[in-house]
Structure 1
């Protein structure tokens, strides 16, 4: 295992959260348990270890919070914890009550390597229903001092503190406590605007039916709104059940996504480990202008944040594989219910986009080239449904088969079955005579009986198909529906000016190949167009992806797209992380290796059988990533700069120059290729045979 496989070298950070059993009113016992868990967090290479609210004494002490013996014992136990922490890497966030100038505050202690870095008091004290915190504690805004002496150390005190790791500068931690998250304006909002990438919450939220879901939703929304990570730890077993109960829920969310959830009601306590991606957070904030503008408008009040720095002393020379699940198919959720919802929305976005274009232009005829492949299939069923929505006769859809030199009987048969099953008008035009004439006019060797299957041979066929479609649209006052998808546009796997790049309107332009497969499967499962059409759709899904432009002998394999440009499963993974988050190739390779190297991972619901890929070696991942970087960043933008209209479908983005993606058509891929060359050297992989540019 290489040090390449180290999360901290890839701007990630491991977060640990614990809800240990609490011994009420026994600080020394509680600190012993915290010490054991903090040591465990250190051994697991965590950067931050989060514990619940008032975990040194127990939250549910009621009026015992005011007993000096308890408060003295808590301070003495904290001294022991600080002393033990000298040997540990994680930043410890631990809850206890602290006396400050004749007031008692519900606080989070921030401890690191023998230092009490700061004490953060709770800002909002609940005093309704079962909560009586204002009976015992003072609110943070009422504090009159900015530093205190506690457990033998002088330290920062206040709710507006940020804790910044010097050797992991993207890790900036904000702390809030329980009810703070329930407030209409949580303190973590300002913390995030001031730069915090990790918001943490020490909680003693008691459990009721549905409360765990409520907490998770609040954490999810806060991580999304703050464009950061949000870690939450609630008190568990051992808290008093005189009137309440406790479940020990632990959660970590990042950018609105749930990274990890603990079990609950565990008599031995609960723990959670996961890795947050600080680079993704930083990249999202750079892109999201509203975040920047909001921070700028709040600059005056954000200046009072105090920044406390600490050094993690990261083990960069130690392999530390990520403990975070990485989705193999980022354009396709692996949860069955979410997949169904996404397919419903994507399909209807495509349908609505085309219907609006037809409605606004008054055009009542659509022309579409149908090959029996995935993209034209999806475009045709979208067109059929758009016509249904508009009350137009499907007979006004002119589905054109354009067989060429390499069209197979299987794809031709699937295309015919689909066209007939949908009840659209079918026209077949054999392009071979026209292609032969053009090749002859070009003095191409093929016209002399030589089997020279070069780019000209392929593009003559592709160009003729587009010529026929556009002229048919002229002839029938129609609109050409494009078929090329997002993955093809990203890789430049489309011929400039022809049907997979050019159309009057392209419904697939922002849909990745892996998602198109599942959209077709979704339509088939629902039998949107009846059982016979669903049978044809399933047959199309089982067909090898091929441009079918170069003939092959009966005993030879069909021309394969993926053998040339790489597996779409990998290339869609690369596209998502490069386009959506701006990650570099070394980071993408690290994530891909984690996602694809484990045979045992089951990323798909059991009723979906489209994932035919097994695993990819690191060498394969790097090789196809080189293909992606070269094609995406250097050779293909001119095709995207001239792409037709089409609706954005996923939040990951689209490649329209009028929408999500703008770049010069004559840019260079040098920095990406140099990084990949360096990665090859680090991993001991042979140099790329295709060079570095």
Structure 2
């Protein structure tokens, strides 16, 4: 069997597979608990897990009260730690388990880190709850009371301190730290300083009994801590088997990364189980790299930390990623979130336009209405803005400007839309003026030859813009732009014309894939009858600039046949600009997301025709074209963009906003990286 290419291994691309373990608890029985641990560690190893974390005091049980002070139990816990270190080594997993450990004449509530057949380090709990149902100070000493930073365990001297940083010497970015339950609820959790010291994965071994509403509190804390530390947060709480003398336990387990939930385990389960996800430690590093506040905080608030090196498993497993991966990063899968995002996006666009109109004392706008997606969305934004400003929609001056390739379908849709929305509708046939210009410059088309070159196309595009700007002068109005974020990324616009230049562009921060859903959302929320019908007709129209007449086969000029599917281009755009991922990783993620049309989730109302798959050679080919267009050929257009509001995260290409780059750069380094690391299969 041929050896798999490294490209297909998640580890090649900076992923660390973690598991939050929820074992069945055996009260005050380290032998039985160790058996549960061993079974879950072996299961984790079989599933390619790199790092597994267990609940607080998982070897002894948490709710055992004064039994924690018994010599027989404490001695058995230490023996089982040595046994589990060997199990973890055989499984190729780094395991973090909870145990009560003595150091000198004090007992500590500890996270014990096992790797390479030994105990790598021990982290004592910093904050001991002693309120309401908690009495931990009765049994444990806090970390701050220790007299030294070493502990002797089974004859070995080991690092013993809060804030230990465990770093894989052979896996860049695989750096983690652990805290225990109450530490997480403190105003300044130890994990915050651990993150500032370089830890990208933060673990919480928790017991955390359950009461109504507490699960939501934990989830909020996990999400916020992963966002605030720009890291990953793995939380696991005690479950079935813990003593219910006075409390109950739900075994909640969650994994978050940069504020987003990657995985959530089953609560109130009666079986031992794992909650697994792949954490992108490379992306975490890149996010911290581009965030100056994180670096400033680390410099001001950070403290020296002890680094504990270890060797992580390196086998080239090629199984699929275990994490949510959006095919459409600008369009959420969840219907409620999509509804919320559309609400926000639309109102951002509307308020942006309203503010510009108030600032200029404007009462009219001029807009070219083509019957396509972008001009439709801009027109819908204008209608809402005029309504909120209490201006008549008749002051929205819509113009359809048919050229040599304008289809009857798009033109009729444009007129129907303007009529249904109650805006001023006009038509100017640009063909006579275009013919005159082509004749003046001696173009072959004016001489009767079917030459449909770039000059032929741009004469039409340029004339449309000329008309709109002069109409704006004539009517004391300003030109409303229509070009979207995806087109700006690809340079799919003619310099200085309507999809590039305007007085204000409401669409410049909205990706093409989101515009489709925005139109659907507005149609459903605000329009019925004729308006809804024409909006849906526009959504069903193939994307085309309509600058070249149909060929002999009757096929129209297709935008996506030239620049690639917008679904892929928006995927590339998000990962390149939001996180700065290298092209091979973008290709890997795109393949994981798009290789199977039947798997995963699709945004609400995605037509069946769009539920397609892309193989790796197709992804690689379109990504190479995207990289060339984005980095080398189109920045000069973005350097001269009109004003317009930022709408989506990582979605501004304004030279005054998120993206600043030279106009004369080369795409060589990105193309070389793609070609050198992505197989051509």
TM-score (norm 2): 0.98
Aligned to 2:312: 312
Please state how far the C-alpha of 1:153 moved relative to its aligned partner: 1.6
> Is 1:238 aligned to 2:238, yes or no?
no
Q: Residue 420 of structure 1 corresponds to which residue in structure 2?
A: 419
CA RMSD for the aligned pairs?
Answer: 1.3
Say which is worse superposed, 70-79 or 82-91, in terms of deviation: 82-91
Q: What's 2:384 paired with?
A: 385
* Greater CA drift, 79-88 or 68-77: 79-88
The answer as to 2:372 corresponding to 1:369 is no
Bigger drift between 212-221 and 659-668 goes to 212-221
Q: Which moved more, 1:505-514 or 1:545-554?
A: 545-554
Deviation at 1:320, TM superposition (A): 3.7
CA distance in 1, matches of 2:597, 2:571: 17
Match of 2:570 among 569, 572, 577: 572
Q: Given the superposition, is the C-alpha separation of residues 623 and 430 from structure 1 closer, same or farther in structure 2, using an over 3 Å criterion?
A: same
SS in 2 for 1:120: strand
* Equivalent residue for 1:217, pick from 209, 217, 220: 220
Q: Does 1:591 align with 2:589?
A: yes
> Is the Cα contact below 8 Å between 1:264 and 1:270 reproduced in 2?
no
Q: Deviations over 1:585-634 (max 9, x none)?
A: 10001000000012222423554437713100111100100110000010
Structure 1: distance between partners of 2:154 and 2:330: 51
1:485-531 residue CA offsets vs partner (Å, 9 max, x unmatched):
000000000010000000000000010000000100100111x1443
Distance 2:273 2:225 in 1: 23
Name whichever of 180-189 and 328-337 sits farther off: 180-189
Report the equivalent of 1:11. 14
Alignment partner of 1:136 is 2:139: yes
Residue 297 of structure 2 aligns with which residue? 294
Equivalent residue number for residue 166 of structure 1: 169
Which residue matches 1:181?
184
Distance 1:549 1:355, change over 3 A: same
Q: Answer whether contact 1:504 1:645 (CA < 8 A) is retained.
A: yes
Look up the match of 1:409. 408
Tell me the residue number matched to 2:334.
335
State how 1:91-170 maps to structure 2 within 5 Å: 91-170=94-173
**Native 8 Å contact 1:91 1:112 kept in 2:** yes
Aligned to 1:463: 462
Q: 2:446 aligns to what SS in structure 1?
A: helix
**Helix, strand or coil: the match of 1:4?**
helix
Cα drift, residue 430 of structure 1: 0.2
- Deviation, structure 1 residue 39: 1.5
* Cα deviation, residue 434, structure 1: 0.4
Show the 5 A alignment for 1:277-292. Answer: 277-292=280-295
Q: SS where residue 273 of structure 1 aligns? A: strand
Q: Which residue does 2:344 correspond to in 1?
A: 345
State the partner residue of 1:537. 535
Partner SS state of residue 354, structure 1? helix
C-alpha distance in structure 1 between counterparts of 2:529 and 2:143, whole Å: 65
- Deviation of the 1:67 alpha carbon: 1.1
Q: Give the equivalent residue in structure 1 for 2:513.
A: 514
Residue 652 (structure 1) shift: 2.1
Report the alpha carbon displacement of residue 642 of structure 1 after superposing the two structures with TM.
0.3
Q: Are 2:124 and 2:160, in contact at CA under 8 Å, matched by a contact in 1? A: yes
Shift of 1:10: 0.4
In the alignment, what sits opposite 1:268? 271
CA contact (8 A) 1:422 1:529 kept: no
Instruction: State the alpha-carbon separation in 2 of the partners of residues 559 and 665 from structure 1.
Output: 29
Which deviates the most, 37-46 or 323-332? 37-46
**Higher alpha-carbon deviation: 36-45 or 227-236:** 36-45
Which sections of structure 2, spanning at least 5 residues, go unmatched? none
Q: Give the equivalent residue in structure 1 for 2:250.
A: 247
What residue is the counterpart of 1:689 in the other structure? none
Superposition pairs of residues 62-77 of structure 1, within 5 angstroms: 62-77=65-80
Query: C-alpha distance in 2, partners of 1:321/1:328?
Result: 15
1:319 deviates by 2.2
How far did residue 201 of structure 1 move? 0.3
TM-score (ref. length: structure 1): 0.96
| Aligned position for 2:658 | 660
| Partner residue, 1:325 | 324
Q: Structure 1 residues 273, 611: closer, same or farther in 2, change over 3 A?
A: farther
> Is this contact kept in 2: 1:248–1:270, CA < 8 A?
no
Deviates more, 1:121-130 or 1:653-662: 121-130
> Does the aligned pair in 2 maintain the 1:517–1:610 contact within 8 Å?
no
Does the 8 Å CA contact 1:52/1:94 hold for their aligned counterparts? yes
Map of 1:690 onto structure 2: none
CA shift digits 1:351-389 (9 cap, x unpaired): 000000000110111000000000000000101111111
Residue 488 and residue 610 in structure 1: after superposition, are their counterparts in 2 closer, same or farther (change >3 A)? farther
Deviations 1:310-366 (A, max 9, x none): 0114113x4243222211000010000000000000000000000000001101110
Question: In the alignment, what sits opposite 1:635?
Answer: 633
How far does residue 115 in structure 1 lie from its aligned partner after superposition?
A: 1.5
Quick check: 1:475 aligned with 2:474? yes
Q: 1:558 to 1:419 in 2, by over 3 A?
A: same
Q: CA 1:611 to 1:513, structure 2 compared with 1: closer, same or farther past 3 Å?
A: farther
Of 620, 630, 634, 1:622 maps to 620
Q: Distance in 1 between matches of 2:607 and 2:245?
A: 52
Distance 2:148 2:628 in 1: 57
Is contact 1:79-1:152 (8 Å) kept? Answer: no
- Give the equivalent residue in structure 1 for 2:81: 78
Counterpart-to-counterpart distance in 1, 2:127 and 2:170: 33
Cα deviation, residue 6, structure 1: 0.4
Output the CA distance in 1 between the equivalents of 2:529 and 2:285. Answer: 48
Matched, 1:193 2:196: yes
Deviations 1:625-658 (A, max 9, x none): 0110000010000000000000000122300000
Q: Which residue pairs with 2:599 in the alignment?
A: 601
User: 1:141 offset after TM fit, Å?
Assistant: 1.4
CA contact (8 A) 1:220 1:257 kept: yes
8 Å contact kept, 1:367–1:399: yes
The alignment covers a number of residue pairs equal to: 678
Distance 1:4 1:121, change over 3 A: same
Any unmatched runs of 5+ in structure 1? 686-693
1:141-160 alpha-carbon deviations (Å, 9 max, x no partner): 11111001012321000102
